Amino acid sequence: MSSMTRGIGQETKGRRSLKRIGLSLGSVVVFYGAMYTLAPDTALTALKASAKISLALCLPLSLVFSVMFLLNLFVRPAQIAGVFSRNTGMKGMLLSAAAGIISMGPIFAWYPLMKKMREEGAGEGPIAVFLYNRAVKPFLLPVMIAYFGWTYVALVTILTILGSIVLGYSMNAVSGD
């Protein structure tokens, strides 16, 4: 019974998410429509600016799809669970960072697995490190590089990973793990 309730809950959540996406896009389109009737020149300028941004994104996005495909081909959720470490030492932190980097999908999709890992004795440090490193997205790097350049992306990536280790030890200290 409880699993049934959970199933329905998940379905509703999925529908809500689709609704939200439709609403976001719909409201922007409606706003453009309203603007076109009030100030057609400004609306056209905005559309031209959007088209320019879209064009600039075409190549990076095709690369994004390629990297996404390769990750889906080689990396599976069970492997990420295998890489994720319950160990609160440096090795555990680094493994959890690697698991966070290769993980894909929305953050809330990973909460159940993290909850389970926590229940089975995983330290708070590795879980926090995993969640933090989801900011490092290999498949999105083409877009980031297109906007900010290689050097910047390399620096942000390195400092984010280092920051996650600091976070991991801070969480360990707070929780007493």
Partner 1 sequence: MKVAISAEDTTLGAPVSRRFGVSPYLIIVDLDTGEWEAVRNPGSSGKRGAGVEAIVLVISKGVNAVVTGYCSPPIRKHLESNGVDVFTGLSGTVEDAVGIYRKGEIQKKQEFESNALDRWSFLRAGTITNAFKSSGNQFATMLPILFSVVLLMGLVNALVPGELLASLFSGSALFDTLWGACLGSILAGNPVNSYVIGGELLKQGVSLFAVTALIITWVTVGLVQLPAEMAALGRRFALVRNAVCFILAVPIALMTVVILNVVTG
Of residues 25 through 84, those in contact with partner 1 by CB under 8 A are 25, 28-29, 31-32, 35, 42-43, 45-51, 53-54, 57, 64-65, 68-69, 72-74, 76-79, 81-82
What span, in angstroms and rounded, lies between the C-alpha atoms of 154 and 141? 10
3-state secondary structure of 42: helix
Question: How many positions of this chain bind partner 1 (CB under 8 A)?
Answer: 79
Q: Is 120 in the site for partner 1 (CB under 8 A)?
A: yes
Find, among 81, 111, 128, the residue nearest to 10 by Cα.
111
Instruction: Compute how many other C-beta atoms are within 10 angstroms of the C-beta atom of residue 10.
Output: 10
Binding-site member from 37, 38, 108, 176 for partner 1 (CB under 8 A): 108
When the beta carbons of 59 and 107 are compared against partner 1, the nearer one is 107
Residue pair 118/36 in contact (Cβ under 8 Å)? The answer is no
Shortest CB 81 distance to partner 1, Å: 5
Shortest CB 91 distance to partner 1, Å: 16
Shortest CB 17 distance to partner 1, Å: 8
Q: Phi/psi at 105 (nearest 5 deg)?
A: 90, 170
Q: Is 144 in the site for partner 1 (CB under 8 A)?
A: yes
What span, in angstroms and rounded, lies between the C-alpha atoms of 155 and 4? 47
Binding-site member from 12, 19, 40, 148 for partner 1 (CB under 8 A): 148
Binding-site member from 15, 19, 91, 116 for partner 1 (CB under 8 A): 116
Q: Which residue has the tokens 């390629």?
A: 66
Q: Is 6 in the site for partner 1 (CB under 8 A)?
A: yes
Which helix (H) or strand (E) segment holds residue 64: the answer is helix 40-74
